[in-house]
């Protein structure tokens, strides 16, 4: 019986709008061998349906919404466990809003339990001021993911971490951030699969998020060199992955 798979997406399955060689073969082998798996991403803007449709657009078929866990879903799972049916002021897009609704949260700008921050492309001064005043007033400060920038066509664009930094600067408070590298995200993923971390493998392209998070959650780790990490960069970290592959197409599921 091969181990369950938790797999990063960007730099592993695709890069921008390009499918990585071997990725479709890998996914079809997961499906045909009935290996339990989840795709895990710090992206909190897109829903599981958006991601399923994105992969279909790249030629990967056979997936369902149940095959994905995003930082927005993980944040909603975490907050529901902390305080069911709570209220939140949200900076972010449809991804985080819909996940919070699904777990029974309601949105409020008056004494909310939480201020929840994800990437927002319409972020403005009024939202910044509101978040600062609500946190000053006692609302708990939560971030979906720490990424400062997202590489997009034409250069970088500010991401959730940059908005979190602005609110931190004004409040003097640090957010609790659910997404990678927080091992909580991996723990929520193994729990969703119903598998013990000893029997799960984290596959990703980043040493500072995927590999460290998988290691700290007690999982086997596999680095792929199809994204941001080169063999040289890999040696700069004080920890190493259990396996290294050029891309997911090379992975023999039974040998992990
Ligand atoms: Mg990645």
Per-domain residue ranges of the chain: 4-42+180-255, 82-177
In the predicted structure, residue 153 carries a pLDDT above the cut 80: no
Q: What is the pLDDT of residue 154?
A: 83
Q: In this model, does residue 31 exceed pLDDT 90? A: yes
What tokens were used for 70?
A: 């995003």
Pull the structure tokens for residue 237: 């970290």
Binning pLDDT at 50, 70 and 90, where does residue 16 land?
confident
* Average pLDDT of the residues in 189-200: 97
Q: What is the mean pLDDT of the chain?
A: 96
**DSSP-assigned beta bridge partners for residue 140:** 114
CATH of domain 82-177: 3.40.50.1000
Instruction: Name the CA radius of gyration of the chain, rounded.
Output: 18
CB 79 within 8 A of CB 104: no
pLDDT of 1 > 80? The answer is no
CA distances from 23 to 39, 138, 172, 183, 212 (A): 12, 46, 43, 25, 23
Compute the average pLDDT of residues 154-172.
95
Alpha helix segments (H runs only) across the chain: 23-32, 48-57, 71-82, 94-102, 125-136, 160-171, 183-193, 212-216, 231-234
C-alpha dist (Å) from residue 120 to 22, 41, 83, 194, 252: 33, 17, 24, 32, 39
Place of tokens 């799972």: 77
CA of 8 to the centre of ligand 1 (A): 5
pLDDT higher than threshold 90 for residue 152: no
Out of 10, 113, 147, 210, which one is annotated catalytic?
Answer: 10
Confirm whether 8 is a catalytic residue. Answer: yes
247 C-alpha to ligand 1 centroid (Å): 12
Q: Is the pLDDT of residue 155 over 90?
A: no
Ligand 1 center–CA 5 separation, angstroms? 15
- Distance of CA 82 from the midpoint of ligand 1 (Å): 28
User: What is residue 45's DSSP assignment?
Assistant: S
What is the pairing mode between strands 200-204 and 37-41? unpaired
Q: Looking up tokens 């596959």, which residue turns up?
A: 203
Taking a 5 Å cut-off on Cβ, the residues next to ion ligand 1 are: 8, 10-11, 205
Same fold yes or no, 4-42+180-255 and 82-177: yes
Tell me if 70 sits within 8 A of 41, measured CB to CB: yes
Instruction: Please tell me the distance between residue 74's alpha carbon and the centre of ligand 1 in angstroms.
Output: 17
**Which pLDDT score, from 0 to 100, does residue 96 have?**
96
Angle ∠(188,248,243) on CA atoms, nearest 5? 75
The structure tokens listed for 165 are: 């930094």
Among candidate residues 8, 113, 205, 210, the one labeled active-site is 8
Find the 113 Cα to ligand 1 centroid distance in Å.
Answer: 32
Pick the CATH number of 4-42+180-255 from 3.40.50.1000, 3.30.70.2190, 3.40.50.150, 3.40.50.970: 3.40.50.1000
CA of residue 11 to ligand 1 center, whole Å:
5
- pLDDT tens digits, 52-79: 999 999 999 999 999 999 999 999 999 9
Q: Tens digits of per-residue pLDDT, 89-121?
A: 999 998 999 999 999 999 999 999 999 999 999
The two beta strands, 149-152 and 114-117, are unpaired
- Start-to-end CA distance of the chain, whole Å, equals 11
The pLDDT of residue 255 is above 80: yes
Report pLDDT for 151: 79
Q: Which residues contact 201 (CB under 8 A, 6 or more apart)?
A: 3, 4, 5, 6, 214, 219, 220, 221, 222, 256
% of residues, the chain, pLDDT over 70: 100
d(CA 18, CA 149): 20
Q: What is the CA(125)–ligand 1 centre distance, in A?
A: 31
Span from the CA of 203 to the centroid of ligand 1 (angstroms): 9
């Amino acid at each position: 019986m091969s181990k369950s798979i938790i797999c990063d997406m960007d730099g592993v399955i695709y890069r921008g709008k390009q499918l990585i060689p071997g990725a479709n073969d890998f996914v079809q082998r997961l499906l045909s061998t009935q290996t339990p798996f989840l795709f895990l991403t710090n992206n909190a803007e897109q829903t599981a349906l958006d991601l399923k449709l994105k992969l279909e657009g790249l030629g990967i078929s056979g997936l369902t919404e149940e095959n994905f866990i995003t930082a927005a879903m993980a944040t909603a799972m975490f907050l529901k466990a902390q305080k069911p049916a709570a209220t939140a002021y949200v900076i972010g897009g449809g991804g985080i809003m819909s996940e919070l609704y699904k777990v029974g949260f309601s949105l409020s700008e008056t004494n909310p339990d939480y201020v929840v921050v994800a990437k927002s492309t319409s972020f403005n001064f009024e939202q910044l001021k509101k978040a600062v005043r609500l946190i000053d007033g006692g609302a708990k400060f939560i971030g979906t993911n720490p990424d400062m920038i997202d590489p997009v066509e034409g250069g970088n664009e500010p991401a959730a971490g940059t908005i979190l930094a602005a609110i931190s600067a004004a409040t003097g408070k640090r957010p609790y951030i659910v997404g990678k590298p927080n091992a909580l995200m991996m723990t929520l993923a193994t729990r969703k699969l119903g598998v013990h971390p000893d029997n799960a493998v984290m596959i990703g392209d980043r040493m500072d998020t995927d590999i460290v998070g998988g290691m700290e959650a007690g999982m086997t780790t596999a680095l792929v060199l199809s994204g941001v990490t080169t063999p040289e960069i890999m040696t700069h970290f004080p920890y190493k992955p259990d396996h290294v592959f050029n891309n997911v197409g090379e992975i023999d599921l039974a040998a992990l």
